[in-house]
């Protein structure tokens, strides 16, 4: 890696950045938009959370241990699953929740083992400086993808109930009857990842790459990491969503192949 001097912000420089929030706060106040409290709270939360995580990561990086790395990644995974439940557009049936948890644990684990051990070949494998942020990106993207997939599946089953039942009446299996809804949910889950791959480097520079460049890495080295990450993210989202959809469509049918949970 071609090291250059990284830029460290001083306390005052960082403080100047808060001027943006002051401007935002003033605008909503003048315009009478009741969001002042939310802006203050979210700014404070962001600041405190990031400072805490910064110190936590510093301690973890200075004392690398496989258990600590794994516990942190498991915590992120658990939080991501909880977030998917919270962000669903309608109430989720407990069986759909199980499908989400199984798909995320299985899909993310399989993809991460391959990505970290075969592609990145970390040494040691639990190197927290790479393991934790990369896991975070993969888990975060899988979370976004699966949330979209869950919503589309639930909406599809509710709005296309007649079509599903018409396919059953004609002698189709539940899988055949849900085929187009499953495809739409997969599409919806994958589109943000596909779109961001298309626009990457032209429309925007991805956060991780920007961060690496600011921190002094050579752009070419940052780009190589970014490409690997994007491929890993696309693969993880695809695997996780496929597992989820494979498990979840069955929840809407009982053992007699009757559509039962279209309102869930």
What three-state secondary structure class fits 211?
helix
Q: How many helices (H) and strands (E) does the chain have?
A: 10, 0
Taking alpha carbons only, the member of 99, 71, 100 closest to residue 84 is 100
Taking alpha carbons only, the member of 169, 165, 146 closest to residue 248 is 146
CA dist list (Å): 150 to 36, 186, 205: 32, 9, 29
Residues that bind other proteins (CB under 8 A): 162-163, 165-173, 176-177, 180, 256-259
Measure the CA–CA gap between 226 and 145, rounded to whole angstroms: 19
Question: b vs e for 38-71, b when ≥16 Cβ sit within 10 Å of the residue's Cβ?
Answer: ebeeebeeeeeeeeeeeeeeeebeeeeeeebbee
In the complex with other proteins, which residue's Cβ is closer, 3 or 263? 263
Q: Residue 204: phi, psi to the nearest 5?
A: -155, 160
Q: Residue 200: phi, psi to the nearest 5?
A: -65, 130
* DSSP line for 221-234: HHHHHHHHHHHHHH
Taking alpha carbons only, the member of 148, 137, 153 closest to residue 236 is 137
Strand-pairing partners, residue 259, are 253
């Amino acid at each position: 890696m071609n090291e250059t001097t990284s830029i460290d912000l001083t306390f005052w420089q960082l403080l100047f950045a808060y001027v943006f929030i002051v401007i935002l706060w003033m605008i909503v106040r003048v315009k009478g938009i009741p969001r002042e409290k939310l802006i203050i709270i979210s700014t404070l939360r962001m600041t405190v959370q990031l400072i805490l995580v910064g110190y936590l990561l510093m301690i973890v990086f200075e004392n690398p241990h496989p258990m600590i790395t794994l516990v942190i990644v498991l915590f992120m995974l658990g939080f991501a699953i909880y977030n998917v439940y919270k962000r669903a557009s309608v109430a989720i049936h407990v069986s759909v929740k199980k499908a989400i948890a199984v798909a995320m644990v299985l899909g993310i684990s399989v993809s991460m083992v391959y990505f970290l051990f075969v592609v990145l070949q970390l040494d040691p494998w639990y190197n927290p400086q790479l393991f934790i942020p990369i896991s975070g990106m993969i888990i975060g993207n899988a979370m976004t993808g699966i949330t979209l997939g869950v919503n589309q599946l639930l909406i599809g089953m509710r709005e296309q109930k007649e079509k599903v039942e018409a396919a059953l009446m004609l002698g189709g299996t539940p899988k055949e009857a849900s085929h187009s809804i499953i495809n739409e949910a997969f599409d919806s889950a994958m589109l943000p990842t596909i779109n961001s791959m298309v626009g990457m480097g032209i429309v925007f520079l991805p956060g991780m790459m920007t961060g690496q460049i600011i921190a002094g890495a050579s752009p070419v080295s940052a780009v190589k990491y970014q490409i690997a990450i994007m491929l890993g993210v696309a693969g993880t989202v695809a695997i996780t969503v496929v597992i989820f959809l494979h498990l979840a469509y069955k929840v809407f049918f009982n053992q007699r192949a009757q559509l039962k949970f279209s309102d869930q």
